[in-house]
């Protein structure tokens, strides 16, 4: 599906191509490998050097790739940034779009298999990524909490893939999966800049049927439970997971943002002021939410000895929000800050594309509309959201490094 976003203000065009699939955690590792392989070589550009030289000739065309999750949707994204014709000496748009088509749909294939050398390069890169990802204990703690909260949640999966999967993947069966990817994925193309539908005909998108996917995952609800895991760390990682299954897109776009700001975003928030500043119970603390996953998360770096005091005080701050124990000035400050962040998004073309993407997948309003609607949020709206947020899981990755022998 084509999404054309006209722009005259910025010097560059952006093309973003999303391959949209139903979540299957067994595909994540394969998608990461394809993400790397397609940006190394192609049928026309047999070496990575040739491909990079061509990108340089196209006024430093920049290719990027990553994987994202929207509820039960697993999305492989490729993003290309290149100079508009107005600022180049030749037909840069047409040549850039040809190059994009070559990269995505004409891979370097030998005997129905990806190039072995490219496969090994991609595999080694992914091994490094997985190691780095697994060594990040803050990320580990968040994923572990989400897994305990709901083991079927797409957000509990490793976005970079799994080391154990690599033994089952080779250049031959990965190319077979690539063919399946092209033939069965819904494909969305977001074009930002001075680009027409006729221009985009150069990119030969597969005409696949739209995939029926629920872009909002409802996290399982249960009486809250507490889990403890110990590891040789200096600082303990506390992660508290909350359900927010009943929020509407409107509430998630507006009142939830005000709620998060007052509760746990920035130095003036309740969590920062009362847990960190007044009681000195943590090193860091914040609240974030993922509407597509229907959960809120409060994370803190603490000393394990302060665990019980910390969760008790966090519970108290969350309860204060449901009671409406915050000031009108808190709402005003939150709205001013949120509007400022919206204005910053409008100055970033990548953020504008992401806004259109979330509008298409999640039903959010475009950023331009949010600027006006956020001002209408009242204290009653924030309290209603607060009442829909319920504790589910508490997880502590306890650091034992400073324990006495």
Report pLDDT digits (tens) over 80-132.
999 999 998 788 999 999 999 999 999 999 999 999 999 999 999 999 999 99
In a domain, residue 205? The reply is no
Domain membership of residue 377 as a residue range = 225-399
* 101: CATH: 3.30.830.10
**Are 313 and 251 contained in the same domain?**
yes
In a domain, residue 404? The reply is no
More confident residue, 109 or 399: 109
In a domain, residue 50? The reply is yes
Q: What would the pLDDT profile of 41-50 be if each residue is shown by its tens digit? A: 999 999 999 9
Directed axis angle between helix 92-105 and helix 48-57, to 10°? Answer: 160
Predicted confidence at residue 402, as pLDDT, reads 56
- Does the pLDDT at position 400 exceed 90? no
Cα-based distances in Å from 129 to 118, 135, 237? 17, 10, 22
**Are 188 and 305 contained in the same domain?**
no
Within 13 Å of residue 266, how many CA atoms lie on the same side as its CB? 13
**Are 42 and 169 contained in the same domain?**
yes
Calculate mean pLDDT across residues 52-68.
95
- Going by C-beta distance under 8 Å and a sequence separation of 6 or more, which residues neighbour residue 326? 262, 270, 320, 379, 382
Cα-based distances in Å from 34 to 21, 90, 208, 361? 14, 32, 19, 23
- Decide: 48 and 41 in contact? Cβ < 8 Å: yes
Calculate mean pLDDT across residues 131-157.
94
**Are 162 and 40 contained in the same domain?**
yes
**Are 195 and 243 contained in the same domain?**
no
In a domain, residue 216? The reply is no
pLDDT level of residue 399 (50, 70, 90 thresholds): confident
The structure tokens 């999967």 sit at 165
**Are 54 and 194 contained in the same domain?**
yes
Q: What would the pLDDT profile of 13-55 be if each residue is shown by its tens digit? A: 999 999 999 999 999 999 999 999 999 999 999 999 999 999 9
In a domain, residue 209? The reply is no
**Are 170 and 296 contained in the same domain?**
no
User: How many domains is the chain built from?
Assistant: 2
**Are 270 and 383 contained in the same domain?**
yes
pLDDT level of residue 266 (50, 70, 90 thresholds): confident
Q: Percent of the chain at pLDDT above 70? A: 99
Taking the CB of residue 341, how many other CB atoms lie within 10 A of it? Answer: 14
- Does the pLDDT at position 306 exceed 70? yes
Compute the distance between CA of residue 132 and CA of residue 123 in angstroms, rounded to an integer.
14
In the numeric block, which tokens belong to residue 58?
A: 């196209």
In a domain, residue 212? The reply is no
Which three-class secondary structure state does DSSP give residue 283?
A: coil
Q: Which of 332, 344, 342 is nearest to 262 (CA)?
A: 332
Predicted confidence at residue 405, as pLDDT, reads 36
**Are 168 and 50 contained in the same domain?**
yes
β 225-231/2-6 pair status = unpaired
**Are 387 and 345 contained in the same domain?**
yes
Mean pLDDT of the chain: 93
Q: What is the value of pTM for the model shown? A: 0.92
**Are 97 and 180 contained in the same domain?**
yes
In a domain, residue 211? The reply is no
Calculate mean pLDDT across residues 304-308.
94
Q: What would the pLDDT profile of 355-389 be if each residue is shown by its tens digit? A: 999 889 888 888 888 989 999 999 999 999 999 99
More confident residue, 403 or 65: 65
In a domain, residue 206? The reply is no
Q: What would the pLDDT profile of 175-227 be if each residue is shown by its tens digit? A: 999 999 999 999 999 999 999 999 999 999 988 776 688 899 999 888 889 99
- Does the pLDDT at position 274 exceed 70? yes
- Does the pLDDT at position 404 exceed 70? no
């Amino acid at each position: 599906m084509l999404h054309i976003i006209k722009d005259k203000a910025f010097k560059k065009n952006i093309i973003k191509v999303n391959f949209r699939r139903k979540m299957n955690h067994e595909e994540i590792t394969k998608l990461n490998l394809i993400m790397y392989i397609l940006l190394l070589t192609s049928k026309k550009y047999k070496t990575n050097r040739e491909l990079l030289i061509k990108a340089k000739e196209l006024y430093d065309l920049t290719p990027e790739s990553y994987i994202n999750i929207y509820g039960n949707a697993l999305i492989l994204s490729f993003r290309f940034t290149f100079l508009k014709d107005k600022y180049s000496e030749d037909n840069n748009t047409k040549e850039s779009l040809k190059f994009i088509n070559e990269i995505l749909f004409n891979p370097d294939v030998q005997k129905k298999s990806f190039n072995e050398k490219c496969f090994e390069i991609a595999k080694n890169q992914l091994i490094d990524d997985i190691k780095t990802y697994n060594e990040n204990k803050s990320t580990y703690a968040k994923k572990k909490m989400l897994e305990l909260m709901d083991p079927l949640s797409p957000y509990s999966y490793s976005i970079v893939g799994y080391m154990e999967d690599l033994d089952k993947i080779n250049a031959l069966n990965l190319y077979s999966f690539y063919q399946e990817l092209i033939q069965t994925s819904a494909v969305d193309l977001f074009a930002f800049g001075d680009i027409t539908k006729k221009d985009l005909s150069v990119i030969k998108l597969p005409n696949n049927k739209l995939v029926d996917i629920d872009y909002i995952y409802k996290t399982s609800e249960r009486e809250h439970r507490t889990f403890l895991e110990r590891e040789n760390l200096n600082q303990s990682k506390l992660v508290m997971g909350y359900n927010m299954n009943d929020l509407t897109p409107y509430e998630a776009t507006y009142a939830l943002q005000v709620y998060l700001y007052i509760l746990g975003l920035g130095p003036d928030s309740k969590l920062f002021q009362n847990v960190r500043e007044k009681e000195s119970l943590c090193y860091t603390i914040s609240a974030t939410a993922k509407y597509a996953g229907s959960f809120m998360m409060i994370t803190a770096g603490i000393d394990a000895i302060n665990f019980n005091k910390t969760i008790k005080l966090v519970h108290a701050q969350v309860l204060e929000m449901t009671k409406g124990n915050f000031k009108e000035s808190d709402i005003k400050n939150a709205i001013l800050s949120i509007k400022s962040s919206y204005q910053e998004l409008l100055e970033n073309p990548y953020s504008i594309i992401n806004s259109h993407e979330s509008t298409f997948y999640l039903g959010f309003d475009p950023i331009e509309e949010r600027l006006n609607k956020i001002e209408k949020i009242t204290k009653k709206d924030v309290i209603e959201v607060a009442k829909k947020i319920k504790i589910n899981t508490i997880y502590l990755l306890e650091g034992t490094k400073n324990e006495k022998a």
